[in-house]
Amino acid sequence: MTSIVADDQIPEKRTKKAIRILYWIFASAMLLTVAYAWIWYPEPYEFFQEFISNLGARVSEHETLPNDISSLIISIGFGICALISLVVAIVYLFKPKLKFNYWKSFLNFIMFIGAIGVGIPKDQPRIHPLHGIGAALFMVAFGFLNFVHQRLRFTRKYKSATIERTKDFYLDSITSVIVFVVLVLFVVFYALGKLTDNSVLKVFGTTYQKIALLVNFFAILILDLDDI
């Protein structure tokens, strides 16, 4: 019992615990934001045809109804996510004893910028490009951050060829692969949908956006202290 208490006093371990709690709050805030915005969306939300960005627009996509409540929820929710990302980025920046701290600080900072962009309604006439840029940065940074957390820890912990294949081994391995594959598929289908204006590819793009967010939501929830 004494050794556990003493170990808990290690500054780096306390920092990791704080970061993990912030990540949990971040993931919960993101999921609840999208869920509540969906509930308050003034027309039926077409899950497979519409991007999440539509939930944050000032006017609904098809019936052009006022969407002030849903838009405000998206802005506030992703504002909270942006603030958390900035705090984590600063913590990593000033904690050189944490593994790959500069990489993680950079990715959290990009996610901070992206979350701000997501909070800007996509149908604001003068600043709407900022929403698209922010959404792209947020999706890519969120996915790559999870990949970095899982993969770098995986390669450090399991670099020995004789390592025992435990449940943690397979969980780390599978999670890192799934996060990477889903992110790549989203980027590919989103880009192809935009370039070709193909309706089928657009459906794949919107669908993989939700899949990527859900996968990264669970990936960030299962981070242990070694991942951080």
Strand partners, 66: 59
**pLDDT of 2 higher than 80:** no
Q: Quick one: pLDDT band at residue 3, thresholds 50, 70, 90? A: very low
Helix (H) or strand (E) holding 29: helix 11-40
pLDDT on residue 1? 40
What's the pLDDT tens digit per position in 40-49?
A: 999 999 888 8
DSSP 1: -
Q: Quick one: pLDDT band at residue 6, thresholds 50, 70, 90? A: very low
- Other C-beta atoms closer than 10 Å to the C-beta of 126 total 6
**pLDDT of 191 higher than 60:** yes
The crossing angle, in degrees rounded to 10, of helices 68-93 and 11-40 is 170
**pLDDT of 148 higher than 90:** no
- Which of 68 and 154 is assigned the larger pLDDT? 68
pLDDT on residue 63? 80
Distance CA 60, CA 36 (A): 15
- Which of 173 and 103 is assigned the larger pLDDT? 103
Distance CA 167, CA 93 (A): 32
What's the pLDDT tens digit per position in 206-220?
A: 998 999 999 999 888
Q: Quick one: pLDDT band at residue 161, thresholds 50, 70, 90? A: low
pLDDT on residue 199? 81
Q: Which residues contact 78 (CB under 8 A, 6 or more apart)?
A: 30, 33, 56, 115, 116, 118, 119, 138
Q: Which residues contact 25 (CB under 8 A, 6 or more apart)?
A: 84
**pLDDT of 118 higher than 90:** yes
**pLDDT of 181 higher than 60:** yes
Distance CA 1, CA 35 (A): 42
* pTM of the model as a whole: 0.85
Write down the residue that tokens 């709690």 correspond to: 21
CA atoms within 13 A on the CB side of 19: 28
How much of the chain exceeds pLDDT 90, in percent? 41
